[in-house]
């Protein structure tokens, strides 16, 4: 086991985001990591406790302006937490430069900039041009439970989106075992807490718009669609299409996705659960609900768990799969730390909630 004195030196670019707040919280509890650099364009030179008030008197750090040389020199691993497209060029430069000087340095991007394998998709879904095909190819999609082996060897992780994490994890065993009829589009209805709308004021994150309300948005045009289709397609080895209907709800943290599937053959709950248990053997963060029990936000809030509920509706022959995660933990910062742990050979639960007991259970 890694000695505490040889801690992983961590840098964060985009340190003022909501997600970075959670990264910092998790890193503050991580036994083998130490935060050495926080870069923020918008909040340059500020106390971290002024940016993320809950960290006041806990972390004594100031943000700096981004400088690639400094980052390469000081860090063992760098998290990017910038809006999609905004740090794409910077990231390309930084990574390519770093790989020459300090080949062991690792990068984990929490934006969508390296998630889609097809560079053209960026134009269509995100509205910007992506030219760095080398990095797109090299990046490993950081869905920890599915790509564990690849993550271990990666230098660049494209940390998955929150909706894709929840959706894909909840149905992966069925797609991986080719059990889904993909003739018809799969339907995913998703409900996310307001933290999903970020920290910058906009029409989706004002209290008066959110409280005592629920709102569908971006039906069929949300940029997480190609990510879901890409990954489920890879699992089932075919092209699939998905209808995705997201909502913003009045709670702060967490999300629930419900996927409606037609299976290739008749299956009962017990069959399906067995596939899931096999697929997710020794995966500490996956919890499958008992028959007739469904996942709910409050059981995963502030944890890195993905709770999964399974129901077969006999009257209509539809298979309903529910996934539930904390969008900022398993859907962002939590999974990013899990990926860091895997990359550095640590127990994957290190620094994450319930690590003590999960480590014990799994070892």
Query: Which residues participate in catalysis according to the annotation?
Result: 162
In SS3 terms, 235-284 reads as: HHCCCCCEEEEEEEECCCCCEEEEEEECECCCCCHHHHHHHHHHHCCCCC
- One character per residue 9-38, x = contact with a copy of itself (rule: CB under 8 A): ---------x---------xxxx-------
- Tokens 């707040």, residue? 21
The answer to whether residue 148 forms part of the interface with a copy of itself (CB under 8 A) is: no
Q: Which residues lie across from 318 on neighbouring strands?
A: 313
Q: Are strands 106-109 and 77-80 parallel, antiparallel or unpaired?
A: parallel
Measured from the Cβ of residue 22, the count of other Cβ atoms closer than 10 Å reads 24
Minimum separation from the CB atom of position 92 to a copy of itself (A): 30
The answer to whether residue 294 forms part of the interface with a copy of itself (CB under 8 A) is: yes
Stretch that binds a copy of itself, among 78-86, 119-127, 237-245, 272-280 (CB under 8 A): 237-245
The answer to whether residue 113 forms part of the interface with a copy of itself (CB under 8 A) is: no
Nearer to a copy of itself, 234 or 245 (CB): 245
Stretch that binds a copy of itself, among 105-113, 117-125, 175-183, 238-246 (CB under 8 A): 238-246
In SS3 terms, 344-360 reads as: CCCCCCCCCCCHHHHHH
The answer to whether residue 309 forms part of the interface with a copy of itself (CB under 8 A) is: yes
Interhelix angle 224-236/162-176, nearest 10 degrees: 20
The answer to whether residue 217 forms part of the interface with a copy of itself (CB under 8 A) is: yes
Measured CA to CA in angstroms, residue 233 lies from 28, 54, 98, 145, 241 at distances of 37, 41, 33, 17, 9
Encode burial over 337-357: b for 16+ CB neighbours within 10 A, e otherwise: bbbbbbbbebbbbbbbbebee
Say how many residues touch a copy of itself, by CB under 8 A.
82
Q: Which residue in 79, 87, 147, 253 binds a copy of itself (CB under 8 A)?
A: 253
Stretch that binds a copy of itself, among 132-140, 146-154, 162-170, 213-221 (CB under 8 A): 213-221
Nearer to a copy of itself, 101 or 219 (CB): 219
> Cα(265)–Cα(336) distance, rounded to whole angstroms?
36
Tokens matching residue 189: 């209805």
The answer to whether residue 251 forms part of the interface with a copy of itself (CB under 8 A) is: yes
Nearer to a copy of itself, 67 or 127 (CB): 127
The answer to whether residue 62 forms part of the interface with a copy of itself (CB under 8 A) is: no
The answer to whether residue 1 forms part of the interface with a copy of itself (CB under 8 A) is: no
Residues in the chain: 363
> Cα(5)–Cα(7) distance, rounded to whole angstroms?
6
Query: Rule CB under 8 A: which of 191-210 touch a copy of itself?
Result: 191, 193-195, 197, 199, 201-202, 205-210
The answer to whether residue 104 forms part of the interface with a copy of itself (CB under 8 A) is: no
The answer to whether residue 252 forms part of the interface with a copy of itself (CB under 8 A) is: yes
């Amino acid at each position: 086991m890694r000695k505490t004195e040889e801690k992983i030196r961590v840098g964060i670019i985009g340190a003022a985001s909501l997600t970075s707040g959670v990264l910092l919280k998790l890193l503050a509890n991580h036994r083998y990591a130490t935060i050495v650099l926080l870069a923020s364009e918008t909040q340059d030179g500020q106390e971290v406790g002024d940016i993320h008030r809950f960290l006041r008197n806990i972390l004594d750090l100031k943000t700096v302006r981004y400088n690639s040389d400094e980052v390469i020199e000081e860090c063992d691993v760098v998290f990017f937490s910038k809006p999609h497209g905004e740090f794409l060029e910077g990231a390309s430069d930084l990574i390519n430069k770093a790989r020459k000087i300090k080949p062991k340095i690792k990068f984990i991007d929490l934006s969508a900039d390296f998630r889609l394998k097809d560079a053209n998709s960026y134009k269509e879904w995100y509205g910007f041009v992506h030219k760095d095909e080398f990095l797109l190819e090299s990046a490993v999609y950081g869905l920890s439970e599915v790509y564990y082996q690849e993550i271990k060897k990666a230098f660049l992780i494209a940390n998955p989106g929150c909706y894709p994490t929840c959706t894909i994890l909840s149905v992966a065993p069925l797609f991986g075992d080719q059990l889904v009829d993909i003739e018809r589009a799969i339907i995913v209805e998703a409900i996310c807490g307001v933290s999903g709308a970020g920290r910058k004021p906009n029409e989706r994150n004002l209290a008066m718009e959110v409280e005592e309300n629920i709102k569908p948005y971006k039906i069929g045009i949300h940029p997480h669609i190609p990510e879901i289709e890409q990954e489920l397609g890879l699992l089932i080895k075919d092209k699939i299409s998905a209808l995705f209907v997201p909502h913003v709800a009045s709670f702060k943290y967490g999300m629930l996705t419900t996927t409606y599937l037609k299976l290739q053959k008749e299956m009962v709950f017990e069959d399906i659960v067995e596939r899931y248990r096999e697929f997710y053997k020794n995966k500490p963060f996956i919890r499958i609900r008992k028959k007739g029990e469904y996942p709910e936000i409050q059981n995963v809030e502030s944890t890195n768990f993905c709770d999964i509920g399974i129901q077969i509706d006999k009257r209509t022959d539809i298979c309903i799969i529910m996934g539930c995660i904390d969008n900022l933990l398993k859907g962002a910062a939590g999974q990013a730390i899990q990926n860091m742990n895997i990359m550095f050979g640590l127990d994957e639960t290190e620094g994450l909630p319930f690590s003590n007991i999960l480590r014990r259970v799994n070892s």
